[in-house]
Amino acid sequence: MTRYFAAAVCAAVLSTPLPALAHPETGMSAIAHGATVTGAGRAGDASLVARTVAIGMADSMRFSPGELLVTRGQTLRIVARNDGQVLHEIVLGTPEEIARHREAMRRDPGMTHGAPNMAHVAPGRSEQIVWKFDQPGKFEFACLLPGHYEAGMSGTIAVQ
Ligand SMILES: [Cu+2]
């Protein structure tokens, strides 16, 4: 996964303060508009992955599959594969977190990214997110690059 510097400039996006957790790989604080802990769970331990799920990303602005069903407490390895010709991203969060992130990107399209709950995926590449879904509920994954979400590039995660 490409590592960008976590963007402290985006901390204001989060209406709920999140604890400052050291990033497991960079040692950086992961507070940004991306996060180590969100309402949808937390960064997972790769040694505890219970299930690997492949998600395709297409220039038709669709993820496939567009729905995931997860058992609460499971750690998933999500392998996002970009089958298109343009950059896509995948961001996990609650619907509210995704909406705040979209709003932040509208205000600042050049904002830097980098956190365990998201990955940028170059054309022809795959990137992984390891995430522990320890909260029940309905969550989203989305591509928030300009125009992509609006064109339908989002999916749902049901944790039960
Ligand atoms: Cu996209």
User: Is 144 domain-assigned?
Assistant: yes
**Ligand 1 centroid to residue 38 C-alpha, Å:** 21
2 within some domain: no
* Domain limits for position 73: 8-159
Taking the mean position of all CA atoms in its chain, how far away is CA 60?
19
In a domain, 1, yes or no: no
CA–centroid distance, 146 to ligand 1, in Å, is: 8
More confident residue, 38 or 54: 54
Answer yes or no: is 99 within a domain.
yes
Ligand 1 centroid vs 123 CA: distance in angstroms? 10
At 105, is the pLDDT very low, low, confident or very high (cuts 50, 70, 90)?
confident
Q: How far is the CA of 136 from the centre of ligand 1 (A)?
A: 26
pLDDT of 41: 93
Question: Which of 111-114's residues contact partners 24+ apart within 8 Å by CB, and which partners?
Answer: 111/7, 111/9, 111/10, 111/33, 112/4, 112/5, 112/6, 112/7, 112/32, 113/4, 113/7, 113/32, 113/33, 113/34, 113/89, 114/2, 114/3, 114/4, 114/5, 114/6, 114/7, 114/32, 114/34
pLDDT in tens, 45-90: 999 999 999 999 999 999 999 999 999 999 999 999 999 999 999 9
Residue 72 inside a domain? The answer is: yes
Residue 84: CATH number of its domain: 2.60.40.420
DSSP class of residue 108 equals -
- Ligand 1 centroid vs 107 CA: distance in angstroms? 18
pLDDT in tens, 142-160: 999 999 999 999 999 999 9
The confidence score (pLDDT) of residue 26 equals: 37
CA distance 106 to 133: 28
- Answer whether residue 140 is part of any domain: yes
Q: Is residue 3 part of a domain?
A: no
48 in a domain, yes or no?
yes
Give the count of domains, the chain: 1
